Amino acid sequence: MSWSERRLLLVGAATLALGGCGFKLRGDEPLHFRSIALTGFAPRSPLAAELRAALARSVRVESTPARAELVLQALSDQRERVAVATTAAAQVREVQLRLRLRWRTQTPAGREVTAPAELALSRDMSYSESQALAKQYEEADLFRDMQADIVAQVLSRLSVIRL
């Protein structure tokens, strides 16, 4: 039996074992409301756009809170870039990227459904002036990844809300 055949057999056995134990990939969790409105985000917030798109896959996203069953209010939506290490010549060597969302949910009438919560993520990134353009793309990718993580966490927390 060749190495590739053994590997194929091993992968097949692992797949059967995982299927037999009840393992299932985590998918989108169902939301227990039909419509939601997003408020408090900056006009062109990338986080709000991604959250809106993710929510639209399972519920109606309303433009006005009065027409929604639930209102997700962003209390703050911040992106930060902080220099955390410099050289003796005051050149930045390492930066920390931070993405923070503070939010709460309420009914259109103003009754609080969930207390204010905060989700904060950070990533460290080395920096070099000679590779500034590449580091700019890396920073954008890291912010996109953090944003996707925050959206997944918000959706997970919204899935436990029952109106």
10 Å CB burial of residue 123 (0-12, 13-18, 19+) is: middle
The answer to whether residue 28 scores a pLDDT higher than 90 is: no
d(CA 63, CA 160) in angstroms, rounded, equals 23
Per DSSP, 31 falls in state P
Amino acid identity, position 72: L
Q: 126-159, pLDDT tens digit by residue? A: 998 889 899 999 999 999 999 999 999 999 999 9
Q: 56-100, pLDDT tens digit by residue? A: 999 999 999 999 999 999 999 999 999 998 888 888 899 999 999
List, in order of start, the domains of the chain with CATH numbers.
31-158 (3.30.160.150)
